[in-house]
Amino acid sequence: MENEQLSEVVDLLESSSAVEESYFAIFADLHHESSYVRANKQGLERMAAKLLLAASRSQDIIENKESFINLGLQEEWDDGDIFLDYVEVIDKKENVFYNVEHEETFQDQLIKVGCLAIIVFLFVSMIVGVGSIIGWLF
């Protein structure tokens, strides 16, 4: 689409959805392994308008040797655990996977120690139980 067409669509989307009725949120699970969008129609339209506006400005950003477009989404209709602050514009298709290291917390260590303690307890109980059964038989 041409920039003029994108601007028309952006104007149409922004004029058709009231900010007061809009809701858009991105949530993540506890360890950020998966995420989801929770939104109503107006919130989706406003987010689509923001992304289409970024698309219409992307060529100008590349030509000016800049790489980021600020989305400005800290508005009252944008809520959730994850906020989209900007779009990084690139001029080629790129498959980059960022490896995010998970920092081990005290709770993670506690779960490991608890599971190990349960396994040791079950093993000792099994040895004692087998010893008792052998003692009853002989």
Q: What is the pLDDT of residues 83-93, one digit of tens each?
A: 777 777 777 76
- Same-domain status, 25 and 76: yes
- Same-domain status, 83 and 47: yes
- Same-domain status, 71 and 122: no
- Asked if residue 111 belongs to a domain, the reply is yes
More confident residue, 32 or 45: 45
Whole-number Cα distances in Å, 123 to 47, 66, 95, 118, 126: 56, 62, 48, 9, 5
Which of 5-9, 79-83, 98-102 reaches the highest mean pLDDT? 5-9
Q: Provide the percentage of residues in the chain whose pLDDT is more than 70.
A: 81
- Same-domain status, 107 and 84: no
pLDDT digits (tens, 9 = 90+) for 97-132: 666 777 888 998 999 999 999 999 999 999 999 999
Q: How many domains does the chain have?
A: 2
Closest CA to 106 of 114, 96, 98, 95: 114
**12 contacts 37 by C-beta, under 8 angstroms:** no
Domain that holds residue 24: 3-88
CB-count exposure of residue 131 (10 Å: 0-12, 13-18, 19+): exposed
**Average of per-residue pLDDT values in the chain:** 80
